[in-house]
Amino acid sequence: MAAAPRDVPRRGLFIGGGWREPSLGRRLPVVNPATETTIGDVPAATAEDVELAVAAAREAFRRDGGRHWSCASGAVRAKFLRAIAAKIKEKKSDLALLETLDSGKPLDEANADMDDVAACFEYYADLAEAFDGKQHLPISLPMENFKSYALKEPIGVVGLITPWNYPLLMATWKVAPALAAGCTAVLKPSELASLTCLELGAICIEIGLPPGVLNIITGLGPEAGAPLASHPHVDKVAFTGSTETGKRVMTAAAQMVKPVSLELGGKSPLIVFDDIDNIDNAVEWAMFGIFANGGQVCSATSRILVHEKIAKQFLDRLVAWAKHIKISDPLEEGCRLGSVVSEGQYEKIKKFISTARNEGATILCGGARPQHLRRGFFIEPTIITDVSTSMQIWREEVFGPVVCVKEFSTESEAVELANDTHYGLAGGVISNDPEICERLTKAIQAGIIWINCSQPCFVQAPWGGNKRSGFGRELGEWGLDNYMTVKQVTKYCSDEPWGWYQPPSKL
């Protein structure tokens, strides 16, 4: 087992390039969800601190006419992003350990997350550098006496509100493209897992990021997140989290007609056809789609639709595989299922399972605390069958290691079941028939489709959903565009008068 650090770093709010205590002096306890012990605390920001952070970001955006950041070349910003990536790699072990202690995820997963964090900063450094050569591209016009081009410019000060399931990675998905675009930012991570985001502030100090370019405030949503979303000097809000909170963010932003991008909940389907050659391959992808990160994944394929011809065989193997998962202290080597993030989330998941049982569903596997773990917020991987489409467990996002399995008989029935949801983040199809895969790629109403897999994620590819899963796209070049505004520049290139009006008579 890896050794836990003796002390969790005690940080303040990261504002204007340095640390400061919250205005009201309040702090929130940090609880290790795998042991239920308090391991530290984080500052609890309020509206007063939001004011300071937004003012620091605004000043950094405008400083010297933007020469140091917003109007600097992409190559200048790329140097800082690469420096952050290098520090992430250097501190990978410490950051991964903090992330595990804070969120309960297996240490192997946290280490992989840190690799992805560094890769994301490097990717957007490359895009920032390449961006310089893409400005002033001419626009073809039908009139020769005009020349036109488009400029992409940073949108301004952005508020970034991020979740607890991948604390530093989800923050990076927003911070890296926002900074690459030339924006300045105020990051507000979830109060349930803020430690590694605060360490990002320490890294910014180490690499000499200009003061105020990135500010990091921790605290409760109503006290810190809400004032950030509604602040008149925040030019855009990007939010990842629950659909209900997303609605409130959108409402707050609407009062000032500021743009938002929202990556919200999901109840994603995975459709397994009977033409597959290897049941176990399909089962492992189904497992990865719902049990990775404890099922605390917005895109989790938490509804499995399996063809009736292979349903029994598939379920037998799914149960066997699920019972074989190593559930343990997340610091133990080989752990594949740690705790969920908090007591509140633990109780919420248990209530979902209880309601499913009361509504007539069958808990085929799991559904309780593992017998060998007496402390910590652990839930066994849970497989639920005999589910009707009206049940809560089928319709609502659980955000835990809980999956529903339902049979289908025809392709059209599978599509209908897959799309019978308010959400539209992701979906998957497992089949050996390329024509089936092609048809379902078009038929499933979601922003992300996986074929013969579930949950792969690449920084180069767009990420985001439809319907109540939100709008806007992160990652890839789409992620950079999230933080840009487009300006048309058109020049009249003739000495001839325009000639629309008749000139007055000469005196």
| Catalytic positions, written as ranges | 263
By CB atoms closer than 10 A (0-12, 13-18, 19+), residue 284 is middle
Which pair of structure tokens corresponds to residue 298? 């917005």
d(CA 280, CA 428): 16
Sign of CA dihedral 400, 406, 410, 412: negative
Sign of CA dihedral 416, 417, 423, 425: negative
β-pairing verdict for 157-161 and 236-240: parallel
Sign of CA dihedral 172, 200, 16, 50: positive
Neighbours of 47 (CB within 10 A): 15
Cα dihedral angle (137, 140, 141, 146), rounded to 10 degrees?
A: 40
Beta-carbon contacts of 194 under 8 Å, excluding residues fewer than 6 positions away, are 30, 42, 102, 167, 218
CB 132 within 8 A of CB 211: no
Which pair of structure tokens corresponds to residue 167? 């604390």
d(CA 163, CA 103): 11
d(CA 336, CA 395): 27
Beta-carbon contacts of 6 under 8 Å, excluding residues fewer than 6 positions away, are none
CB-based contacts of 109-112 (< 8 A; 24+ apart in sequence): 109/292, 109/293, 109/338, 110/330
Cα dihedral angle (67, 73, 76, 80), rounded to 10 degrees?
A: 90
Amino acid at 467: K
Which residues are bridge partners to 424 per DSSP?
466
Which pair of structure tokens corresponds to residue 11? 């940080």
CB 17 within 8 A of CB 214: no
d(CA 158, CA 170): 15
